[in-house]
Amino acid sequence: MHGTIGDNVRVDDFCILKGSLNIGSFVHISAFSSVSGTRGTVTLCDFSGLANRVSIYTGSDDYSADSLSNPTVPQQFVTTISGDVVIGRAALIGAHSVVLPGVTVGDAASVGALCIVSRSVPPGVIAVAARAAWKAVGIRSVANIMNLADQVSGA
């Protein structure tokens, strides 16, 4: 990890902090949280807090792309999304929430438990999970992906 850590910061047990992180003062990161600044910088502003098992990512494979995915695959066969993440001053992120690359959670915003935060949350907004069920939103090209897998494996 590289970056900065302010005063009065509490990081509970079993957290993973990696990459580029700037952590302000009076910040709390609860147990089992994962803060990954491997494809950008994560900034946790003063007085912000992460509840148990929050995950923050500055990089992710693009799961909608017609490409392969995972860290064992050569990079030319993978499509990624990356961007800095900012958790604003006095913002809160609820338990088991996931914050994706490029998101800013505004000052004094509150993200409820079990949210997938894929777009920025304006200052002061209270965001809650709207649905738990999945729905189909598109189709990936099975033929293209299998072709890429064959190229990587030499088949």
**Distance, CA of 94 to CA of 54 (rounded, Å):** 7
pLDDT of 16 higher than 90: yes
**pLDDT score for 128:** 94
Give the mean model confidence (pLDDT) for residues 27-47.
98
Chain segment 59-96, per-residue pLDDT in tens? 999 999 999 998 899 999 999 999 999 999 999 999 99
What is the distance between the terminal CA atoms of the chain, rounded to a whole angstrom? 39
The residue segments making up the domain with residue 129 are 2-153
Contact 20, 36 (CB under 8 A): no
Are residues 120 and 103 in contact, defined by beta-carbon separation less than 8 angstroms?
yes
Q: Is the pLDDT of residue 106 over 70?
A: yes
| pLDDT given at position 135 | 75
Q: For residues 82 and 129, what is the distance between their CA atoms, to the nearest angstrom?
A: 23
CATH label of the domain that carries residue 65: 2.160.10.10
Encode the chain in three state secondary structure: CEEEECCCCEECCCCEEEEEEEECCCCEECCCCEEEEEEEEEEECCCCEECCCCEEECEEECCCCCCECCCCCCHHHECEEECCEEECCCCEECCCCEECCCCEECCCCEECCCCEECCCECCCCEECCCCCCCCCCCCCCHHHHHHHHHHHHCC
* Strands ordered across the beta sheet of 126-127: 10-11, 28-29, 49-50, 92-93, 110-111, 126-127
Domain tally for the chain?
A: 1
pLDDT of residue 152 exceeding 90, the answer is yes
Q: What percent of the chain has pLDDT over 90?
A: 88
- Confidence at 132, pLDDT banded by 50, 70, 90: low
Question: What mean pLDDT value characterizes the chain?
Answer: 94
Structure confidence at residue 133 (pLDDT): 66
